[in-house]
Structure 1
């Protein structure tokens, strides 16, 4: 089969090379296109490029190894590309996007957390606090929420966060149970 005077296997090969080049460019400049996928909700450039790659590679191989008609090969290529693209999205892209979000924290999420003073907080001054999490240790500047100094090694409770500074109060972990 020929399209515009060009054999279909040549078209598959051109699409495959173009999708490969665009995929490499997407690796380098993907942040620009990520805004498009977030705005539209369904036009994910990674999935589109993967579909074109799967489609063209399958079509090219099937044109050379099978005696089937070009229309049947094109239909099978689309079906295989859709299946592989769906699997890629479900088992790779979605888990990766949620894993990336779970490793970060927001300043707002630090409210209510208990930390330890590593640099003492003087009255009307700043010190430093560390907060342990399952992903590591977060170190942030801190100041007292109320008047008075806070000694090194004290446990503190984060009350508020403003401009990257944690406002803390001394925290006493009272484990006594009421009788």
Structure 2
């Protein structure tokens, strides 16, 4: 029985060491295996930690308790499951939800501020840059109030029509300029 636990402990530790060296390559290979059975919680890091914990708990329980083999096996499985659940909810799940994206919805554009990068004529098109948290996006722009807008001007997006943002120049008062 102790050989089984040592094998799981050493195998899990080797897997962790190899995956740290090979990183995403090994993880993406193994994740594909688990996609077939559609089990979100069977990520390689969770599976490896379960096997390693099972082995380590089994070795410790055999050496430092007087429990019989069946009790040691059941307790080692329960400890491995508990640690795996903790790792999944404390590490894996939050990391999956923390990906950054520059994705945005066109519904978010009205009201956003932008800077003119290509001058916008009163009857024609220019370009503006809108800053989002994860990056900047460029948009074809037209003047909403039919006025020329120079490059570098601060504008507010009023509307979106046929993929073209309709913008109006944001005028600053003298008091606002002095504050900057």
Deviation at 1:33, TM superposition (A): 3.3
Runs of 4+, deviation exceeding 6 Å? none
- 2:40 is the counterpart of 1:47: no
Of residues 144, 166, 171 in structure 2, which corresponds to 1:169?
Answer: 166
Identify the residue that residue 10 of structure 2 maps to in structure 1: 17
Deviates more, 1:65-74 or 1:144-153: 144-153
Alpha-carbon distance in 1 for matches of 2:162, 2:14:
45
Number of residue pairs the alignment of both structures matches: 156
Alignment TM-score, normalising by the size of structure 2:
0.68
Deviation at 1:75, TM superposition (A): 0.8
Identify the residue that residue 58 of structure 2 maps to in structure 1: 59
Distance 1:77 1:105, change over 3 A: same
**After superposition, what is the alpha-carbon deviation per residue over 1:8-41, rounded to whole angstroms, capped at 9, x for unaligned?**
2222112112112223444412234344445513
Alpha-carbon distance in 1 for matches of 2:168, 2:35:
41
- State the superposition RMSD in angstroms: 3.2
Alignment TM-score, normalising by the size of structure 1:
0.68
Identify the residue that residue 177 of structure 2 maps to in structure 1: none
Find the residue that maps to 1:169 and give its secondary structure. strand
Deviation at 1:44, TM superposition (A): 2.4
CA contact (8 A) 1:121 1:127 kept: yes
Structure 1 runs not aligned, ≥5 long: 1-7, 174-179
Alpha-carbon distance in 2 for matches of 1:85, 1:161:
50
